[in-house]
Amino acid sequence: MLEQQAMKTDEKDTKENKYIVFRLLDEEYGVEVNQVRSIERMQRITRVPRTPRFVKGVINLRGVVTPVIDLKTRFGLGTEQYTDNTRIIIVAVDDMEVGLIVDAANDVIDIARDRVEAPPEVVGGIKANYLEGIAKLADRLLILLNLEKVLNAEELMQSNEMEN
């Protein structure tokens, strides 16, 4: 009996993922919590020459120089002034740590895998290849990002070449 309960718990663990929920404009997005290192308040960013427009620069985060990307600019959603709610989410993908500027970081939620659908071709102006899927929750839709694609080093370099 105890063994069956342990198996059910294991099954449940593999059928749900935890996501950090954040906001860009009026849309809610999610990234897997295991990719997030920390959530920081907005701070002074040092601009780096000859970088794509969406790379805002670097910050010194506890002695580590970390590049910072404005996700709204990255996705072509325009730019807004930063507010007291603006946050930098520090994420790690493939041994690379990057800060993502977002309008607000709201909460952490569990999402069952069966609630995640493949993304349509374009969602809110964001190409589907940047998306892991769309989570249908009781009262809202959550756009789940594929950070490996968003932070694709090759693509970042190509856009850098285009803007120089």
User: What confidence tens digit (pLDDT) does each residue in 142-155 have?
Assistant: 999 989 888 875 55
Q: Is 3 helix (H, G, I), strand (E, B) or coil?
A: helix
Give the global pTM.
0.80
Among 97, 107, 117, 96, smallest CA distance to 28 is for: 107
User: What confidence tens digit (pLDDT) does each residue in 70-102 have?
Assistant: 999 888 888 778 999 999 999 998 888 999 999
| Mean residue pLDDT across the chain | 82
Question: What domains appear along the chain, each with residue ranges and CATH number?
Answer: 17-163 (2.40.50.180)
**Which range among 13-22, 52-61, 146-155 shows the weakest confidence by mean pLDDT?**
146-155
pLDDT attached to residue 66: 94
pLDDT attached to residue 33: 95
User: Residue 58: left if φ>0, alpha if ψ -120 to 50, beta else—which one?
Assistant: beta
